[in-house]
Structure 1
Amino acid sequence: MPTRALDAIYRAAGVLAGIFLVAICVIVCAQIVARQFQAIIPSADQFAGFCLAATSFLGLAYSFRSGSHIRVTLFVRALGGTAQRLALIAALGIAAAITGVLAWHTVAMVWQNFSRGEVTSGLVPVPLWLPQAAMAIGLALFALAVVEDLVRVLLGHPPEFEAAEAANEISAEPVDGSADAP
């Protein structure tokens, strides 16, 4: 089933997002240590910014699928039956359109910068398409995840994120009732 294969891809992108987050920490710590020795790491802030963009965009599909995105579920759950399903279809349709357009234009931007051989303006020139590629991949995967859930809902199945949201709600409840104690 394509959902399992896509879940593996979303998870891999989430792992990459985590790796880039650790890379930010490493870059910042290295810069701090370098300053203690009156040295700098050229373009450290630029590379940390690239890692931040990669972390932010590569994590989109994984966090969407795991129920971590902020949604209009409070409003949608207040509706019943057909109205709830239609609101979910509308929300997913709008999200699919927006993420699709963003992904399309971002991929076009990356291709354009690759074709032109554009480089960054920092101390260390880096081909601009490299850091932008993580953004394009992340947006494309996010758009794919949203479209996948839209198709599931249109076919009468629940979206994949609902199971993750339910699991998140259950895991947030106290097990021993200690939260009620004074």
Structure 2
Amino acid sequence: MTFKFNVLYRLGAWGAAACMVTICALVALQVTFRLVDALLVLVGMRRLGFGITGLSEVASYLLVGATFLGLAYTFVHHAHIRVTLLISRLPSALRAWFEVFCLLVALAISLLLGYELVELARESLEFKDVSSGFLSIPLWIPQAVLIAGVVLLCLALAEALVITLRIAIREPDSFRETTATDDSDIQ
């Protein structure tokens, strides 16, 4: 399938990658600080005591951001785990309609999740909720990243649904070839 909003999905993937790189950099920096302290103690000097306050809290928010921002990109590149044992044995026309049904269910669940996340972020803004960790991060910030990831996923699911519906109605016998991963989709 060729997705028209692939640039947005790629932007989400870059955001996910940035979250992962930031986690790696923060952890590497924390390990370096501890290593320097250990070496100073080893040679008889005093520890410097440098550390990154709230590292585990920030890393956990970044990990959730990386997960959600990458959802749409992995979906459009067929990287989500799918159980196709039953579907692969169906005739192409029936398989197309089964795919439409599955995409409708996935879109409905994703829309419900998105709605609830928006409500959660709205409440966090209204009550000025902050994290209970060391840094007191306003909770609407990580929740906004979750919302962005779910919105991208909903857009990808809706786009796949439209494409699959078009195929199911116009040319159901070509469905199998269209949904297969080909090199032109991966850039």
TM-score by length of 2: 0.80
In 2, distance between residues paired with 1:138 and 1:32?
Answer: 30
1:98 to 87, 109, 116: 109
Superposition deviation, residue 68 in structure 1: 0.5
Counterpart of 2:78?
67
Deviations for 1:102-122, whole angstroms, at most 9, x for unmatched residues?
111112211221222111111
Counterpart of 1:144?
155
Superposition deviation, residue 33 in structure 1: 1.7
Deviations for 1:70-90, whole angstroms, at most 9, x for unmatched residues?
123343221003211121111
Instruction: Specify which structure has the bigger relative contact order, considering alpha-carbon pairs within 8 angstroms and separated by 6 or more residues.
Output: 2
Q: Is the contact between residue 67 and residue 162 of structure 1 (CA under 8 Å) also seen in structure 2? A: no
Counterpart of 1:135?
146
In 2, distance between residues paired with 1:17 and 1:155?
Answer: 31
Counterpart of 1:120?
131
In 2, distance between residues paired with 1:132 and 1:44?
Answer: 18
SS of the counterpart of 1:113? helix
Do residues 162 (structure 1) and 179 (structure 2) align? yes
Counterpart of 2:41?
none
In 1, distance between residues paired with 2:28 and 2:155?
Answer: 36
Superposition deviation, residue 150 in structure 1: 1.0
Q: Which runs of 4+ in 1 moved over 3 A?
A: none
Superposition deviation, residue 34 in structure 1: 2.1
More displaced 10-residue stretch of structure 1: 70-79 or 44-53: 70-79
Counterpart of 1:174?
none
SS of the counterpart of 1:145? helix
Question: Considering only CA atoms, is the larger Rg found in Structure 1 or Structure 2?
Answer: 2
Do residues 30 (structure 1) and 29 (structure 2) align? yes
SS of the counterpart of 2:34? helix
Do residues 39 (structure 1) and 50 (structure 2) align? yes
Q: Is the contact between residue 11 and residue 62 of structure 1 (CA under 8 Å) also seen in structure 2? A: yes
Do residues 21 (structure 1) and 20 (structure 2) align? yes
In 2, distance between residues paired with 1:74 and 1:20?
Answer: 35
TM-score by length of 1: 0.82
Percent of residue pairs identical: 31
Superposition deviation, residue 35 in structure 1: 2.1
In 2, distance between residues paired with 1:167 and 1:115?
Answer: 47
The amino acid across from 1:22 in the alignment is V
In 2, distance between residues paired with 1:110 and 1:65?
Answer: 27
Task: Tell me: CA distance 1:19–1:136, structure 2 relative to 1, closer, same or farther (3 Å).
Answer: same
SS of the counterpart of 1:73? coil
